[in-house]
Amino acid sequence: MVDKEAVLDGYDTVARVYTEERSRSDKEHKALSSLLHFLSLESRVLDAGCGGGKPVLRQLSSQLQQTIGLDFSTKQLEIAASKAPEATLLCGDMTQVPLTDGCVDAIFASHSLIHIPADTHQTVIDEFARVLRPGGRLLVSEGPQKWEGTNRNWLDAGAEMQWDIAGPETTRAQLETAGFHIETEYGAPNTLDEDEDEEAGWIFFETTLTHS
């Protein structure tokens, strides 16, 4: 099972390296463009697990008036403050999102659910349903298959990172349990590896909240 403190220490340690690695790829462009298609300038959007703010939060805040970045790493948020200065930044846990009920129009959660213990994934998805307005949009990424593992020298930066990937079947069921209707799902290659084949990459679930 994922150790939350180990993940936090890892993200704090690799904060700048991770931000630069993420900045080299725009492979979430398709998912982000799809989300933005359903939003207006005034829409309020949460980037759950925003990291250092690049590339997602920066793009959202450049196109929308109300963007929120949530992360539990203060080191990552310090970087996000410079990369996406227009965004509101919150330090917190996705199992207890520090927002009121029904206050956001959309949530983008890319490469964040996978670092949380699998037995709390439903709790996180339920929290997303709580803070979304009815009819709100959620875009969440998941690995192509169930897997749990550790890299003790992630990004060659001397930091340990852990993953607890539930897999698409479990995530589909959890989304539906929370009241989400899956509009579509499609693959997105690992944003930290430009050479990875798309078929081996991540899956994005694009969903609409029908009830909570």
From first to last of its 212 residues, the chain has per-residue pLDDT tens of 899 899 999 999 998 888 888 754 455 777 888 889 999 999 999 999 999 998 899 999 999 999 999 999 999 999 999 999 999 999 999 999 999 999 999 999 999 999 999 999 999 999 999 999 999 999 999 988 999 999 999 999 999 999 999 999 999 999 999 999 999 887 755 544 444 444 446 788 999 999 76
Domains identified in the chain, total number: 1
3-class secondary structure per residue, the chain: CCCHHHHHHHHHHCHHHHHHHHHCCCCCHHHHHHHHHCCCCCCEEEEECCCCCCCHHHHHHHHCCEEEEEECCHHHHHHHHHHCCCCEEEECCHHHCCCCCCCEEEEEECCCHHHCCHHHHHHHHHHHHHHEEEEEEEEEEECCCCEEEEEEEECCCCEEEEEEECCHHHHHHHHHHCCEEEEEEEEECCCCCCCCCHHHCEEEEEEEECCC
What is the extent of the structural domain holding 11? 4-209
